[in-house]
Each structure stands twice: as structure tokens, then as C-alpha cells.
Amino acid sequence: MEKCRQEANSQRPSGSQQRIHFLRQGEPAQHSSKRPPSNLLTSGAEWKMKVDLGRQLQFPQEICSTTLRPDVVLWSAAAKSALLIELTVPWEEGLEAAYERKMAKYADLVAECRESGWSVRMYPVEVGARGFVGSSTSRLLRDLGLRGARLSKSTKELSGPTGS
């Protein structure tokens, strides 16, 4: 996730614009087939990240004031956009219930952030206790711009034993 954030921040300087190529009358348009894949992090000029690693995470005050602490908060003040990520490690039989429980827990926080003018996405992500990676986890990784081999590698790393 940190790598995705760093790549998004380094892709373009703040305020950069795309070039417009004008054509002479009768000149055929040249369409580029290569279009950079879009992801959630391309909407903001600079993304910041806070992670709750065993200590008390302070939710960014510029978004809103709350006592709730999602495991990861990614946000861009320029885009007024935030991603709230909450990890859970249930038994595989309880993946869906864990997802619903986390969505309900953070529903008021998401609503409060939106009332403050922020675009917010909540991602409860599940990695089963025996290594099964839930579809919500794959969705988050795809939304962050991981595709193909990078997506497969990240999914395998998440499902493997700790420390690998």
C-alpha cells in the first residue's frame, strides 16, 4: 500500500496538466492506445497515510474529529478524498459477517466525513485466519492500481505465513 501511495505521489507534480495536441484541418487524429490505468490515488495531488501499528492512531483532524481508529487512513487534502481501511482476520466461514460488522462500525464516521465535504471510501478487508484472502482485499488492491503480476504477488504475500 505504501508503494502505491509513493508511486501516486511521484507520478506528477502538483498542478501538472495534460498536453492538448491540435490537428490541422483534414489531418487524421492519432489515438493513443496506451492509457495509464486509473486508480483511487490518481485523484489527489499528494496522499498521506497513517497506520495503527499497536499504538493509538490519531484520526486526521483535517478530515473530522472522531475517537474511532481505522487500521489505515489514506487521504489527500487537495482532493478532499480519503480511504479508510480496517483489517480483520476471521475464520473463513465468518468473512461475510466480519465485512458487515466493520462496515456497520464505521458507517457513522463515513457519513460524518462526507458531511464535512470529503469523498470517503471504507474498505473492511479480510484475510482469513488460515490464509484465505477475501474478495474485499482483492478489490482494495485493484482500486489502488495493482494489476496482473503485482496483484497476484501481493495477494500471495498476504495469504502466506507471517514473516515471509
Q: What pLDDT does 118 receive?
A: 95
Q: Has residue 22 been placed in a domain?
A: no
Q: Has residue 94 been placed in a domain?
A: yes
How confident is the model over 14-71, as pLDDT tens digits?
444 556 767 788 887 776 555 555 666 776 568 999 998 777 778 999 999 998 889 9
Residue 117: phi and psi, rounded to 5, are 95, 10
The H or E element containing residue 81 is strand 81-88
End-to-end CA distance of the chain: 17
Distance CA 53, CA 70 (A): 11
The domain tally of the chain equals 1
Predicted TM-score (pTM) of the model is 0.72
Cell numbers standing for residue 152: 497476484
Distance CA 6, CA 20 (A): 27
- Domain coverage including residue 107: 43-159
How confident is the model over 113-130, as pLDDT tens digits?
999 999 999 999 888 777
